[in-house]
Structure 1
Amino acid sequence: MPSIYTSTVMNKWDEDQTIEDTPRVTPAHAIFDLPEVKGKTATELIMSHLPDGNAAYVYAETITAEDFDGKKGSFIVQGSGIWDGKEHKATGTFEVVEGSGTGELKGIKGKGFSENTPKHGYRFEVTF
């Protein structure tokens, strides 16, 4: 099972800021570049903001890559995570949605881990 790492560079973060009180639930949309796999994400999140400044989130994202372990295509992952507001650190886990792979990534299966400290990044454990 290949282990694939890519850093992430945030290009866009749009989150509904109309509700300021906590606890609150807000939708968010993000776009990240994935330099090591020559790719990008389109991410939809539901953020559950807590009174202590932390948040829990669930998300689904489409990952499109030109060089994902030498393969070109796209797939969807779904996951969840925690935002630590004091340390400005997000960590989470995700799974590849079976049947979502396209192109040379058709049939991809697996899971992964994401974190943004000390730098943003995804670690994938996948099979093709």
Structure 2
Amino acid sequence: MNGFTTKNWEEKIVSGTEGGPRVAYAHATFAYEGVIEAESICDLLLYYAGEGYESGQTTSPCFERFEGKVDGREGTFIVRHEYTFDAKGIASTFTVVPGSGTGELAGITGSGTAGGAMGEDKVAYTFEYTF
């Protein structure tokens, strides 16, 4: 099964501390297994409608840098996500940033999805790619 786990999550509110909508920045590290065997560093810009996840669906654009292997080829690449999340779970669609592949991953293109229930240890993902 393709999945990833969170190794580290650091989040800081950057605006809206007085109530109402707020924006936060998160820096996270993930460990991937499956077609992607890699560690990643992800920087997210989070929007909350109110005080937290319970306030309804939120959105988060982010960039994620992978270092490891895809289908046995080694290198690095970056994807751009558009996450949505609420108290029940997370969902994302993502695409490889053109020209971001290095090493044996040079020329990689592709897209995928990620999603799972909030609080689960592992998040499932799909990834379709070409070189």
Shared fold per TM-score greater than 0.5: yes
- Distance between the aligned counterparts of 1:20 and 1:125, measured in 2? 42
Code of the aligned partner of 1:73: G
Give identity over the alignment, percent.
34
- In structure 2, runs of 5+ residues without a counterpart are none
8 Å contact 2:13–2:25 — kept in the other structure? no
Q: Highest relative contact order (Cα 8 Å, sep 6+), 1 or 2?
A: 1
Code of the aligned partner of 1:91: A
> For 1:99, what is the secondary structure of its paired residue?
coil
> For 1:107, what is the secondary structure of its paired residue?
coil
How many aligned positions are there? 121
Q: TM-score, normalised by structure 1?
A: 0.85
Match of 1:77 in 2: 79
After TM superposition, where is structure 1 displaced by more than 4 Å over at least 4 residues in a row?
Answer: none
What value does the CA root-mean-square deviation take over the aligned residues? Answer: 1.8
- In structure 1, runs of 5+ residues without a counterpart are none
- Distance between the aligned counterparts of 2:56 and 2:18, measured in 1? 12
Q: Does 1:56 align with 2:52?
A: no
> For 1:74, what is the secondary structure of its paired residue?
strand
Pair 20,105 (structure 1): closer, same or farther in 2 beyond 3 Å:
farther
Match of 2:128 in 1: 125
